[in-house]
Amino acid sequence: MRRSAALIMAGAVGAAGLTAAVLPQTMASAAAGCRVEYRIVSQWQGGFQGDVRVTNLGDPINGWSLGFDFPNTGQRVTQGWSATWTQSGTRVTAASYSWNGNLPTNASTSIGFTGSWSGANPVPTNYSLNGHLCNGPVTPTTGVPTSNPPTSNPPTSAPPTTPPPTGTTPVAINGQLRVCGVNLCNQFNRPIQLRGMSTHGIQWFGSCYNNASLDALANDWKADLFRISMYVQEEGYETNPTAFTNQVNNLVELATARGLYALIDFHILTPGDPNFNLERAKTFFAAVSARHANKNNVIYEIANEPNGVSWGSIKSYAEQVIPVIRGNDPDSVVIVGTRAWSSLGVSEGGNETEVINNPVNATNVMYAFHFYAASHQDNYRAAVSRAATRIPLFVTEFGTVDYTGSGPFDQASSTTWINLLDSLKISYANWTFSDHSESSAALLPGTCNGGNYSGTGVLKPSGQFIRSRIMTPDNFPTS
């Protein structure tokens, strides 16, 4: 949650000049050749992840279209990144975006995709660049990809063949999550979107989180996700590490009992440099990851909203904390906060390229993005649209009001935002499932003093809107 007065200035700063990535209308032809390297990064029964690196051996081009043929009619591209992917029959086409369309002579670019197959999965043939056939491709079937992010987050291993789920909760259906390409994927290695709610600071609103409220979230709201926001400062963890660790553990158990994913949020805000809390983070995550290592529903958010600090410093912090978690829980998804209150740098005049060009050196990592709908609009949405083709994003916090958590409910901008997240399969948690007096809180003041959390009668306008969006069917893929 953003409380700093500095955001009054930051809210007006951004990448106003940036526009959503689009394919150029015309593309200059490549003259005299190209070379392609194709790698199967990871393969499992019925699915695989491929990496394609193309080198332009002809004249410089500004805008490219790479084509190739799958030899088997059972091979399909299911999700791609760093290009616009289409498939007609066995012919696959990947067209450049505006930001990677410039390809000088002897320059290379890398793109990637996840695919499905049946029968066999032979390597593609008949590569062409802007209509010109490429030289014979190098086609190793294994190896570490050399492509741009997001292939820094390939599946860590081929998933086992998983029988159909026997339960109906989000965790029963989806099981252990992983990052595949730019997506959050389930046990069937299919992209999914989780939708849910965030607590407010548990030091202030602990009475809001109990059996009755979690029952309402799981059964009435039909949420997938419960984010547990543990402030480090502001009367939080630093005042009593043992008590706050126990409180977080208890809330994870409440979520687990209801088949919800539990997102543990190490809620740093002031100071904005996560390295100030590095040792606290190591201690906390060592404890909670050891406690929940055998669960398949826990996600770790290691730095809520870094601000006033470089991406390099945030990355350094992440690369010291993640191994602590991995020591106990090697398979979990970890979410790293981004610069400028987790705005990918936009609120401090930057953009997503700093993360794309220098990703965290770890697997199963996603990057946080936060927004408040009344304050953060077109230029923030453009940054998300661009970034989502390159790196895996998770909106771990957003509000339907302005960046202070107050002000009128902006239904129009909130609708535009959620429609965008839905289209990109970006998971989200709304701020907040609490009865705080601020307009961003879902519950009416005093709700947490009673025992009823279900229905619309206990909800503010923001809560009614978010509940209606969360409770629509998930339709999680299981094959």
Catalytic residues: 305, 397
User: What is the greatest pairwise CA distance in the chain?
Assistant: 74
Q: Are strands 76-81 and 108-116 parallel, antiparallel or unpaired?
A: antiparallel
**Which residue is listed with tokens 């906390």?**
284
Integer Cα distance of 101 and 18 in angstroms: 16
* Sequence-separated (6 or more) residues with CB below 8 Å from residue 452: 212, 458
Integer Cα distance of 227 and 368 in angstroms: 13
Query: Which residue(s) pair with 93 in the sheet?
Result: 67, 86
Phi–psi pair at 76, nearest 5 degrees: -140, 145
What are the Cα distances from residue 391, in Å, to 37, 80, 199, 216? Answer: 22, 11, 26, 33
Cis peptide before 155 (omega within 30 of 0): no
Residue type (1 letter), 472: T
What are the Cα distances from residue 244, in Å, to 89, 154, 280? Answer: 56, 34, 12
Integer Cα distance of 105 and 109 in angstroms: 12
**Which residue is listed with tokens 């009475």?**
207
Integer Cα distance of 373 and 416 in angstroms: 9
Integer Cα distance of 205 and 440 in angstroms: 14
Residue type (1 letter), 424: L
Query: Which residue(s) pair with 398 in the sheet?
Result: 371, 430
**DSSP SS3 for 345:** coil
Q: Are strands 261-267 and 298-301 parallel, antiparallel or unpaired?
A: parallel
- Polymer length of the chain: 479
C-beta neighbour count of 291 within 10 angstroms = 18
Which of 42, 33, 46, 34 shows the shortest CA–CA distance to 78? 46
φ/ψ region of 83 (left if φ > 0, alpha if ψ in -120 to 50, else beta) reads beta
**DSSP SS3 for 403:** coil
